[in-house]
Amino acid sequence: MAILHAEGIEKRYGARTVGPVSFMLAAGETGLVLGGSGSGKSTLLDLIHGTRRASAGAAVLHIGGWRRDLFNLSVPELVAARRAAIGYCTQFLPAIPGRTGLDLARQVAPSVAAEAVFERLALPPRIWNLPASSWSGGEKQRLNLALAALRRPPLLLLDEPFAALDRALHPVLRSFLTDLAEEGTALLIALHHAEDGLPAARTLVSLNQPAKG
């Protein structure tokens, strides 16, 4: 059964349009959203997460006995749904000046041992207690993923998770994401090319052209 059912999702910016997009994503499945720069990959993830408001369509999240269209939730309901069920790894870490990586992790998931996740993502212990704003781009990207995955959400959205990483770190990230999927997390990953994803991934959406307009 699908954990996420997207139906006719569309975002209009005047004459410019992203979508319509429809797909289904099951628990433990890895789905890809493919497309070049400006095609609308990040916009689609933002719409599902609720960071932007869709112009049309539905994004139905089904977890256990809970089944709701994310686009029809009130703000408090959407915040609660994100906290309980949705993780989002964007391309940019919203690091608060002076806050360390461990500070941010404890804020997101106080009861989770973040150190084990940091180690899985090859984040060196010497930086854990340094301000996250001072970390390198690749370190921030892995921290962003750690923060999104700490609570083991049923649905994890990832926007270009390999973009800031050295090639040598790609297997580390693939191994971590594969384990999440095997544990039941549904992954929706936005990428430029399918070969950058996971071996078991399935292309759900192809946005090969810039957004219409």
Residue type, position 29, single letter: E
- The sign of the CA dihedral 195, 201, 207, 208 is positive
pLDDT at 65: 83
Asked whether the bond before 76 is cis by omega within 30 degrees of 0, the reply is: no
pLDDT digits (tens, 9 = 90+) for 149-207: 999 999 999 999 988 788 899 999 999 999 999 999 999 999 987 776 677 888 888 88
pLDDT at 193: 76
DSSP 30-56: EEEEEE-TTSSHHHHHHHHHTSS--SE
pLDDT digits (tens, 9 = 90+) for 109-150: 888 889 999 999 999 999 999 999 899 989 999 999 999 999
**Position 209 confidence tier, pLDDT thresholds 50, 70, 90:** low
Q: Cα–Cα distance between 87 and 194 in angstroms, integer? A: 22
Q: Tell me the pLDDT of the chain averaged across its residues.
A: 89
* Residue 55 CB-half CA count within 13 A: 13
Residue 213: pLDDT above 50?
no
Residue 14: pLDDT above 50?
yes
**Any residues with CB less than 8 A from the CB of 80 and at least 6 apart, and which?**
none
pLDDT at 8: 95
pLDDT digits (tens, 9 = 90+) for 24-63: 999 999 999 998 888 888 999 999 999 999 999 999 999 8
pLDDT at 208: 67
pLDDT at 95: 60
Domain parsing of the chain, residue ranges: 2-200
Q: Cα–Cα distance between 74 and 78 in angstroms, integer? A: 6
Residues written for the chain = 213
- Does domain 2-200 correspond to CATH entry 3.40.47.10? no
Is 70 in contact with 53 (CB distance < 8 Å)? no
Is 155 in contact with 188 (CB distance < 8 Å)? yes
pLDDT digits (tens, 9 = 90+) for 84-96: 899 999 888 766 7
Q: Cα–Cα distance between 127 and 108 in angstroms, integer? A: 18
Q: Cα–Cα distance between 132 and 202 in angstroms, integer? A: 33
pLDDT at 66: 86
pLDDT at 199: 78
pLDDT digits (tens, 9 = 90+) for 67-86: 999 999 999 999 999 988 99
Q: Cα–Cα distance between 194 and 201 in angstroms, integer? A: 8
Q: Cα–Cα distance between 172 and 10 in angstroms, integer? A: 34
| Start-end of H helices in 59-169 | 75-85, 101-108, 114-120, 137-149
